[in-house]
Amino acid sequence: GYPNVLLELVTKSIEPYKSKRANFEYYQDKHDTMLNQQQAMNINNPSLTPNSIREGVLQLYELRQSYLEASLELVIAISSMKLGVDKFIMQIIGLSQLKNTFTFQHSGKKVDLTPLLNEKFSSYSDWVENSNDAAQSLQNDIENAKRQVLQFAAQRFAPSGDLNDYNFKTIDPDSLLDGSFAHEKHPPEKSGWLHMKTSLSSPQRTIWVRRWCFLKNSVFGIFLLSLSKTFVEETDKFGVFLTNVRYEPDEDRKYCFELKIVGGKSQEKEDSTSKDIKIILQAESLEDLKSWIRAFSQAKSYASRLDHNSTEYDMAFKRFSPEFFEFASSTTTSMDQTLVSFNEGTKPLVNLLDEEVPLGSTSLSPEGKLCHLSMAVTPMATKMTSVAILANFYRKENWAPNAVLANIWGSTDWSEYAISDEDLNPLIKMKDKRSESNIHQTEPHTTNYPSFYPSGMMISDIQFKSLFFTIDHRLGKFPDELLLFNFSTFWCPNKKQKFSTTCYVTANNIFCYMNSMGFISLTHLNLKDLVSIEEGKSSSNMLKIYNTEGLQLRMYVYFQSNKMIAEKLQYLLENKTRAQPRGEEEIVKKFEQIDLKYETIGKEKEQESAENEGTSQPPNHSAPNDMMSIFWSMGTPAVECFTRSKELQRSSTITYHHTYDASPRTLMHILFGDQSTAFPRSFFLANRQDRYNHASEWREGRTPEGNPQLVREIQFGLNITDRYLGDTTHKEKVRGTPTSVKQKINRMTEGKYYEVDQDSVLIQVVFCNPLRVTTKYVIMQPHESDIVTNDDSSSSTLFYVYYNLEFIHIKTGETLKNLSFVEKTVLRWAIKSTQKEYIYLKKTIRYYMEKIGTHGKLVKAVKLCGKIGVVLPQNDPTSEKEHTTDEPEITNMVVYNFSLVLRIIIKAFFYRVVNFTFVALRTIVGFIFVVGSGLSHINMTLVMVLALSIGLNVLLFGRSTVTYWLVRRAENTFRKLTEDKHNNVMQRAIFIKDLDLLTAELSYEHENLAFNKFKELSSDDDYIYRDTRKQVAFRRNELLVELKILQNIERELVQGKYRKFLLFEQDQCDTVKNDMKDVWDNSKELIEYCESCDHELKRLTSLLL
């Protein structure tokens, strides 16, 4: 519930912050008090000794370490509290969502009372969860960074152990300035805290105040906190040639030096009445004192060697007033007021912004409501940070530190961390040229945005330039490229870490600003180094960015559609591949169309979900009018492409086609790019290594009907035998004359359909009329892509090659219909040759596709195969070039005479024979080699076992063979004995003697003398009754079999019933034995009866088995 959520916020976020805050304030007050005491000690006090001063400095050093550690812990606590507040808001919204749905009792319809809140809540909750996960993953890095900072500070600010450094009487002013320093290649820089001597008028007294002083780019200036301690202010800035520095030993305080500013002229006008300004500044240590004095001397020396026409040299002689009243020093001390001046170049920033910047009803005054503006989380947050960001609307460069920059980035010098790119070099060189517009101007200088630029993007563009370019003091001017759009992501460099990132996209770069738990990073990706932007399959908001080296960058997009972001970025990548990339105006219009498309999709989804909310209707399968909604309705472009491809196929002799997993533009650059070698390398009759091979640039031309077309010429040397027989001699290769064909792009719908015609080639074969071969290449996207694809790219491409082969009359040029036998044979040969040429072309395409890979195919194809550049007639140097005698005559006729055809046939025959023989021998030798190499690696033990196994197998094989032939011989003998002309019938007969063996009851006795005598006398007449006795025996067998069957049936009936009875009785016995033991033990008759039943059951079971 709400109390638990609030309790979690207080205990886990607010209380730790309050504790760290109190600890920080304790050490801050203690540090400031001790520092003021150390700095305020009177060096003329006789009781003050170097040893006591060193002891005080050591105590201050130890306290400073604790103060720094408390500061770092406070920074961590502030970041953690921000995450805790975000989580608290997310939980509160989640609890309120449970009560945001109202259901009507009668209709059951549900109404969402806060649809906009629910829509944004999902992205916001995911963002908060990822922020907390990112913070957890950075805990170890934060601790390491904290430890490194403490170690660096301990070394950097460690006090000197030499007692002479604390003996002020022995300080030699000449030793403070080392004149033997080398010439600096870069302007000397120095910044840090100094105490400045000043006074108050009411009451009149002298005080020392702490100020942040800096010396950079030959300019000296001072930063200070406002009276409210909520933002940074500045004084005037002074060129180093207006300053003189000397050690001041007459002050009562230690380590003081005087900075004298001569009466210098301001930037806009000279002030003849200006007086010199003397500033007494106090350093904290002797080393700090030396570094400041040397810095001014080195800065003067460096500035004196600058080009006198450079801006930095001009700045070294001038005094610069604050650019804006809002950031000028408002402190009332005498020295602060002396160091601040206003002139015509000082502008009222807030008033100007309220008038000119399109902010609606929002006020930009410090007391106004700036929450209506979506501002990035800057490294430094003060009361005037939002105003400082918008101040760059009137600024074009940052030559030196200023209060505007200090309220965004702090007082740290971030120049070394600025974006470094080759595109910025021209802007850096502008620093070496003097320009009156480089510094302040009398009239307010605003950033001029073009009319097509959306007013809502101006604020984002100003923020973008404030974050990435204001810290770079090398730039003579901020870049002019406009911000096209920005989006919020989480960048995942690995599986464990993730960083919240704001990406700013221009026409040439993707700038990434990361601010996670106080870690700041500025980086950028040049679009020319990227090849593909794709949606991730594992998550609905993932983006995958691939560079030219195949590395993958993963980002998770929030608050915007990742599909929309991917489409915009992919459009920019493909725009970089164009010969003439689209300008920012066209890109902005395209992005507006993309925004409108996804906005419409979002509204349709909302409407659909609203209609389906609370209702459930079964699908209707009986509506015949909805049948067409299942199928695809072909649009006009698809119908035209489909019809055109069918027309070309009907008019061609043979057609080849293949589908490639790439866009039509990708395949177009692979085949017809300026650096592609697909042609003439893929021509069947071309010599690949011929010195005449050349593909010219595309040139603008006209068809006979006056339509525009692009034409290029391809020259290649003939090789009319290699393709059939393999390689030939060098003499035969160069023997043919160079051939030239033209390729013409006649029809084109960019990104969807390309049609390229190729000039006809005439082939003259002996005994035949000339054969004319015409080729046409068609590249088109699949027809169904018209529905799902609205941009220039497609996921697949249909590639068609149409060949038209026809014999023509040698004189009239008419097409011949009736062909001779030889011409038909040559036509079949030509068709096979077109198939080979198409295979060569497919191999070339596959070669490039493998080099391109699976990501960023279009961008890689343009880099690998070049753009399709067009030479205009006025820029064509070859348009008036005359043919020279050194160049061979070019023709498009290929002649096969009788001797050449005969040689081809003979060589083909021998080639096939030799090839077959070679293949056979190679197979045999290979088999022998495999067997021999296998035997050579076999162990001797295995060889012995194998030999023993072979001997045993031979022995067993011999024995089984003898047995086999014995059985076979017996079988043949039996077959011979049973051979007869009539079919043999197998029957069984049972005689009396057989029956005696089957029955136990005999009808006679074996020792009956009368029967034996009768049998002896009648044995000679037995053959008379042989057949009759046989029939009787057959009948007897049948009757006995039937009798046996009936006997078994009867036995099973009786035994089945008897067995059932025995099982029942046995069950009863078991019941009495287990449940009534007294009865069982006292009844012997019952025991005997049960044992009898058990014995009888076992006997019956054995009979059945």
* pLDDT, tens digit, 9 for 90 and up, residues 158-186: 998 888 888 888 888 878 876 555 566 77
Alpha carbons 648 and 665: distance in angstroms, whole number = 21
Tell me what percent of the residues of the chain surpass a pLDDT of 90. Answer: 30
- The predicted structure's pLDDT at residue 840: 92
- Please say if the pLDDT value at position 981 is more than 70: no
Dihedral sign from CA coordinates of 515, 520, 526, 530: negative
Dihedral sign from CA coordinates of 930, 933, 936, 941: negative
- The predicted structure's pLDDT at residue 1011: 64
622 versus 407: the higher-pLDDT residue is 407
* pLDDT, tens digit, 9 for 90 and up, residues 232-276: 999 999 999 999 999 999 999 999 999 999 875 444 444 444 678
Which of the residue ranges 442-456, 875-889, 933-947 would you say has the lowest mean pLDDT?
A: 875-889
- The predicted structure's pLDDT at residue 615: 47
* pLDDT, tens digit, 9 for 90 and up, residues 569-579: 999 998 988 87
Tell me what percent of the residues of the chain surpass a pLDDT of 70. Answer: 81
Are the beta carbons of 242 and 261 closer than 8 angstroms? yes
- Please say if the pLDDT value at position 100 is more than 50: yes
Name the one residue in this structure whose structure tokens are 């638990």. Answer: 4
Strand-pairing partners, residue 903, are none
Q: CB neighbours of 358 closer than 8 A, spacing ≥ 6?
A: 455, 456, 458
Q: Which of 263-272, 472-481, 549-558 has the largest mean confidence? A: 549-558
Are the beta carbons of 803 and 773 closer than 8 angstroms? yes
Alpha carbons 667 and 145: distance in angstroms, whole number = 51
Q: Which of 103-112, 315-324, 910-919, 1000-1009 has the largest mean confidence? A: 315-324
The confidence band for 671, taking pLDDT boundaries of 50, 70 and 90, is: very high
- The predicted structure's pLDDT at residue 97: 75
* pLDDT, tens digit, 9 for 90 and up, residues 710-731: 999 998 888 776 555 444 444 4
Structural element, H or E, at residue 542: strand 542-547
The confidence band for 635, taking pLDDT boundaries of 50, 70 and 90, is: low
Are the beta carbons of 631 and 806 closer than 8 angstroms? no
DSSP for 175-243 reads: GGS-TTPPPPSS---EEEEEEEEEEEETTEEEEEEEEEEEEETTEEEEEEE-TTSSSEEE--EEEGGGE
* pLDDT, tens digit, 9 for 90 and up, residues 299-312: 999 999 888 888 88
The confidence band for 291, taking pLDDT boundaries of 50, 70 and 90, is: very high
Are the beta carbons of 706 and 837 closer than 8 angstroms? no
DSSP for 1011-1070 reads: HHHHHHHSGGGGGGGHHHHHHHHHHHHHHHHHHHHHHHHHHHHHHHHHHHHHHHHHHHHH
The confidence band for 54, taking pLDDT boundaries of 50, 70 and 90, is: very high
- Please say if the pLDDT value at position 1 is more than 60: yes
Alpha carbons 1018 and 98: distance in angstroms, whole number = 119
- Please say if the pLDDT value at position 656 is more than 90: yes
Beta strands in 889-1042 (DSSP E): 893-896
Strand-pairing partners, residue 745, are 710, 756
Largest CA distance in the chain: 182
What is the average pLDDT across 10-29? Answer: 95
User: Please, what's the b/e burial string for 936-969 (b: 16 or more CB within 10 A of its CB; e: otherwise)?
Assistant: eeeeeeeeeeeeeeeeeeeeeeeeeeeeeeeeee
The tokens for 954 are: 């031979």
- The predicted structure's pLDDT at residue 279: 95
DSSP letter, residue 324: B
What is the average pLDDT across 764-778? Answer: 89
Which of the residue ranges 196-205, 467-476, 761-770, 886-895 would you say has the lowest mean pLDDT?
A: 886-895
- Please say if the pLDDT value at position 796 is more than 60: yes
- The predicted structure's pLDDT at residue 548: 82
Which of the residue ranges 139-143, 721-725, 787-791, 1017-1021 would you say has the lowest mean pLDDT?
A: 787-791
The confidence band for 1074, taking pLDDT boundaries of 50, 70 and 90, is: confident
What is the average pLDDT across 365-385? Answer: 69
- The predicted structure's pLDDT at residue 150: 93
Alpha carbons 498 and 490: distance in angstroms, whole number = 6
Q: CB neighbours of 128 closer than 8 A, spacing ≥ 6?
A: 83, 86, 87, 90
1039 versus 26: the higher-pLDDT residue is 26
DSSP letter, residue 184: P
* pLDDT, tens digit, 9 for 90 and up, residues 496-552: 888 899 999 999 999 999 988 878 889 989 998 888 888 888 788 889 998 888 788
- The predicted structure's pLDDT at residue 414: 78
983 versus 1049: the higher-pLDDT residue is 1049
Alpha carbons 561 and 1017: distance in angstroms, whole number = 121
Alpha carbons 334 and 337: distance in angstroms, whole number = 5
Which of the residue ranges 33-47, 398-412, 939-953 would you say has the lowest mean pLDDT?
A: 939-953
Alpha carbons 817 and 769: distance in angstroms, whole number = 12
What is the average pLDDT across 547-566? Answer: 88
- Please say if the pLDDT value at position 624 is more than 60: no
SS3 call for 461: helix
Alpha carbons 694 and 682: distance in angstroms, whole number = 13
Alpha carbons 220 and 213: distance in angstroms, whole number = 7
CA within 13 Å, CB half, 576: 22
- The predicted structure's pLDDT at residue 627: 46
CA angle, 1101 then 1103 then 1105, to 5°: 70
- Please say if the pLDDT value at position 137 is more than 80: yes
The tokens for 350 are: 């807030």
- Please say if the pLDDT value at position 41 is more than 50: yes
- Please say if the pLDDT value at position 883 is more than 80: no
Task: Return mean pLDDT, the chain.
Answer: 81
The tokens for 470 are: 């204001």
Alpha carbons 101 and 115: distance in angstroms, whole number = 10
- The predicted structure's pLDDT at residue 215: 94
- Please say if the pLDDT value at position 861 is more than 80: yes
